[in-house]
């Protein structure tokens, strides 16, 4: 049997990426400002992690203008949702093994 630790998803190793995905799992489109506020982060910090998730195609991006101000929203892709669920299973297995 393959050890669950081998399947540990590197993309979610980081707490911030995990946080972004957690929020996107239970919401539809969420904008940058809301993510920043929820996770209590700076612009630059959040942006770099979002880029990483985007590179994995775990999230998709929608840019638009609201009252002439740019507004960027994010949504978890099908791929991202599955990867996140898989990651949750791995976390659960590790906890079970340690019990």
Partner 1 sequence: MTQIEDLKEIRNLMEKSSRFLSLSGMSGIIAGIAALLGAAYAWWFISNIEMLNYAVNPILILFIDALVIFIIALFAGVYFSWRKAIKQGVPFWGKTSKRLLINFLIPLVTGGIFCLFLIYHGYYLMIIPATLIFYGLALVNASKFTYADTYYFGLSEIILGLLASFFNGYGIWFWGIGFGVLHILYGIVIYFKYDYGVANK
What residues make contact with partner 1 under the rule CB under 8 A? Answer: 15, 18-19, 22-23, 25-27, 30, 34, 38-39, 88, 91-92, 94-95, 98
Task: Report, in Å, the least distance between residue 38 CB and partner 1.
Answer: 6
Closest to partner 1 by CB, 39 vs 52, is 39
Closest to partner 1 by CB, 27 vs 72, is 27
The DSSP string of the chain is ---GGGG--GGGSSHHHHHHHHHHHS-SSEEHHHHHHHHT--HHHHHHHHHHHHHTT-EEEEEEEETTEEEEEEEE-HHHHHHHHHHHHHHHHHHHHH-
């Amino acid at each position: 049997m393959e050890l669950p630790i081998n399947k540990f998803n590197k993309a979610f190793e980081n707490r911030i990426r995990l946080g972004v995905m957690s929020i996107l799992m239970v919401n539809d489109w969420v904008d940058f400002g809301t993510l920043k506020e929820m996770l209590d982060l700076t612009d630059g910090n959040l942006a770099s992690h979002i880029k990483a998730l985007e590179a994995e195609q775990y999230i998709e991006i929608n840019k638009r203008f609201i009252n002439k101000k740019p507004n960027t929203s994010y949504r978890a892709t099908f791929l991202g949702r599955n990867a996140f669920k898989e990651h949750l299973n791995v976390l659960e297995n590790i906890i079970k093994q340690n019990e």
